[in-house]
Chain A
Amino acid sequence: MLQALLPLAALSLLTAAAVLPWPGDGSGLMAAMLPVFAVHYWALRRPEGLPGIAVVFSGLTVDLLTGGPLGFWTSIYAGAWIFGSLEKPWAFSAGKIGRWGLFAVAAGGVALLAIVMGALLDWPVASVASLIGAWFWLVALYVPISLLLRLLDAGWEREAVLE
């Protein structure tokens, strides 16, 4: 039961962290990218645990509280979910390093999406340099965060083997 609720709980917690007024220049962008971890992690491993509507609500919450254009962060998180879903066929066979690589590709795609959407909506979320920096940190932080989520979500690999 608890394991079933874990994706939603983790996404809610990371969404709350995303809108927290963190001190420091550029920390807002990094914080807003935090839900991307949860969205991609479960889209890749257990998409049935994280329904699309939850991802939309998470994005809407960040849109609502951070004052950006409606749909901006919803699109970013939806992008992470779509990347995760498309990468799913390779999720198990890729191994740990491979999954890290899959996340790096997804995070890069999401950063690119942020640039494109910023240009389309005339609302640049950050400079290209800041987005590259955010991508780098996202990829670096993936290791500890995915380890933590894996500990909490024990048994996924066993189920994947049985499948």
Chain B
Amino acid sequence: MFSWLWRRRLLGRSKTEQRRSSVSLGVLFMGLTAAGLVWLGQQFPEKVAEARARLAGPVSSIVAALQQPLAPLKDLRQRYSNLLKLEDELRQLRAANDELEGWKWRALELERRLADLRALTRVVHEPGVDYVTAVVRARSIGAESNSILVGAGARDGVKAGGGVLNGRGLVGETFEVGRDTSRVRFLIDANFKVVVSIGRRLVTAVAEGSGGRLLDIRDGGRSFEIADGDEVISAGEVGGIPRGLRIGKVVGTASGLKIAPYVDFDRIEHVSLLLSSERRVSEAEVGAGPGERARVTAKLDENGKPVVGGDSQAVQSP
């Protein structure tokens, strides 16, 4: 009845009037839909986050298929971007190499001494940490939001609050864990906090994301023992980020000492998500995920990097 009346009303008008009506309707529909969605997001944030975690997996799989033709374009952009940074990095690497040569003999000597001491003290070795490596599917957009969506979720054993790292160090922690995807909050996100050990004296402090490029340091009153250039590693939390993961270096700024993370958050393509220590990968689970996931059971060294060889085992699903 309504549609009949509507059609009759439209038919009775000129073509220009009809077009105007249709545009007005479209504008009304778009405006109301957008406003309605914003209202829903503001009124029911928890339900929206839950639905987002559930839907992100299937939607990102569809989008990933559409992204295939764009891969060469992305590579081109990546190469151009890399080229610009290459010259500067080369200069820095040469300087670092000269310095490292000097430190090499010292490290070898310390390694020998450490082996002797270990033999004397019978240190108990800690169990290895399981992790899955996943590809970055999407990145957040926003001046103060720093997160990525990665292709590994609860099915792979990922839990909220777990540590996430790449070759350079700690990237952040997981939240909004869906079945096949998880969202990773970067170190620099304003909602991120981690207990850290700073410098040779291992000063315990809390590093907090500021929304900018550096992390703030909330120390326990021993800030006089922290100096520019000190290494920062994770101090370890029960059920959270384990001890010893590289985070960054202390840098002096006009507003005091801050932490500059090692990770380049603009160039993250793959990340490793640490799994809870009680979980072990069963044979049946291996290879169950999409091809882009690699499930790895390995030990991490004291810098948070996977130990190559030894008892590590890597399985790439087909």
Contact = CB atoms under 8 A, between A and B. Distances in A.
Q: Do A and B come from one complex?
A: yes
A125 B141 contact: yes
Contacts of B183: 67
Interface in B20-79: 23, 26-27, 29-31, 33-42, 48, 52, 55-56, 59-60, 63, 66-67, 69-70, 73-74, 77-78
Contacts of A85: 23, 26-27
Given A19-B63, A22-B77, A75-B38, A56 B33 contact: yes
B145 interface: yes
B168 interface: no
B11 interface: no
A71 B41 contact: yes
A89 B268 CA distance: 45
Given A20-B70, A86-B27, A70 B145 contact: no
Interface residues of B, number: 52
A118 to B, nearest CB: 8
Contact of A67 (B27, B29, B42, B140): B140
Contacts of A117: 38
A52 B29 contact: yes
B140 A28 contact: yes
A41 interface: no
A145 interface: no
A23 B267 contact: yes
Contacts of B33: 52, 56, 74, 78
Interface in A86-130: 86, 88, 117-118, 121, 123-127, 130
Interface string A21-48: 1111101110110000000000000010
A52 B23 contact: no
A16 B66 contact: yes
Interface string B136-157: 1111111111011100000000
A110 to B, nearest CB: 12
Contacts of A148: none
Given A13-B70, A16-B70, A24-B77, A66 B139 contact: yes
B302 interface: no
A25 B266 CA distance: 6
Query: 7 smallest A-B Cβ distances: which pairs?
Result: A70-B41, A71-B37, A71-B38, A16-B66, A65-B138, A78-B30, A75-B34
Interface of B: 19, 23, 26-27, 29-31, 33-42, 48, 52, 55-56, 59-60, 63, 66-67, 69-70, 73-74, 77-78, 81, 136-145, 147-149, 176, 183, 266-269
